[in-house]
A = this chain, B = another copy of it.
Amino acid sequence: MKKPALDLKAVIMAGGSGTRFWPLSRRRRPKQFLPIAGASTMIRETLERVLPLIPARDVYTVAGARHTASIRRLLPELPPANVLVEPAARNTAPSILLATAVVHRRNPEAVVAVLASDHLIRDRKAFLRQLQAAARTAARREGLVTFGIPPTFPSTGYGYIRFEKDAAFVSAGQTFHPAVEFKEKPALAQARAFLASGDYLWNSGMFLWRPSVFAHKLEEHAPDFFRFWVRILDALKGRSAARLKAVFRDIPALSIDYALMEKAKGTVVLRGDFGWSDVGAWSSLFEVWPADASGNAVQGDVLALSASGNLLHNPGRFTALVGVRDLIVVNTPDALLICAKDQDQRVKEVLDHLARAGRVKPL
């Protein structure tokens, strides 16, 4: 059987505000624009990861106007028109509607792969192999396709996908399952039950579909959003920034999970086995950065004396860690964070405090 030609487009979601890596990340320099998990910025790594499969002319980004310059600078090979600007930050559903609509106008039967700009994928080859299989599957099915990640701990920070274990089918060389249910971030007890059952995968936030199928699912299962889909297509057709802005003013600021994935029927999920991490907070880097024998994940010029389990980012300066453990230490030219390893979610409180104090820096 001859493989059908695959018109695959990538949409890289680059609008994240990236508060969780403060003080390295800032309002204007969120995580995706930082080399958090490798030598290049996360968005650059995202692009380079897909280039063997998708030429740059078929890669889109979507983010607010304040990030356009960063994206153009970091991804110079993208056609300027592919750097989509969302008129306002309204969560993921509006951005994804916009990007899918842009592709729809070029080819409603192309396959759109929605990718995050700030996730870590350790095994590029496995990812490309699975991405291609997912794309081929999306090209031939009348349903949405998504990546689920085998959970390794009862995370309360991810959404979950319940899948039908006994209804596997092989497509393009990979094993897919029907997705039965999308669950929002659970409480810990529920997360533990999900993990124990073996029936759940983490929702990676990576999706594939043809714009025609996406539109059909919206119309059928999310009619409220279908109205906005029609308005977006109309604004794009008329090249009207004002009308697009009006849509983004009116559209509910919801995630695509809530707006569509939880409701759509016929979605299938592929278990992603490519070393995925959403690198959601400083402590996640303990599994990413190389560590010394005492579990110090440190970069650069460091002396650790009786110090263990610390994460340190202090480029260009010497650091001495003496008798301390389980700390996250991040030093930047205008801000220093010293945080207990198990409290890194509270970085957001620091930012809230700065914002409430009316401060511009170091935000």
Contact = CB atoms under 8 A, between A and B. Distances in A.
Nearest to A302: B336
B343 A338 contact: no
A350 B338 contact: no
Range of interface residues on A (Cβ < 8 Å): 35 or more
Given A306-B343, A331-B331, A343-B306, A350 B322 contact: yes
Contacts of A346: 305-306, 322-323
Nearest to A344: B322
Is chain A's binding surface mostly helix, strand, loop or mixed?
mixed
Contacts of A333: 317
Interface string A86-108: 00000000000000000000000
A196 interface: no
A75 B335 CA distance: 34
Given A23-B320, A318-B362, 16 more contacts: A303-B350, A303-B353, A305-B349, A306-B343, A318-B361, A319-B337, A320-B336, A320-B338, A320-B339, A321-B338, A321-B339, A322-B337, A324-B338, A324-B339, A327-B338, A331-B331
18 contacts: A303-B350, A305-B349, A305-B353, A310-B338, A317-B335, A318-B336, A320-B335, A322-B339, A322-B343, A322-B347, A323-B339, A323-B340, A323-B342, A323-B343, A323-B346, A324-B339, A327-B327, A336-B336
Interface of A: 23, 303, 305-306, 310, 314, 317-324, 327, 329, 331, 333-340, 342-344, 346-347, 349-350, 353-354, 361-362
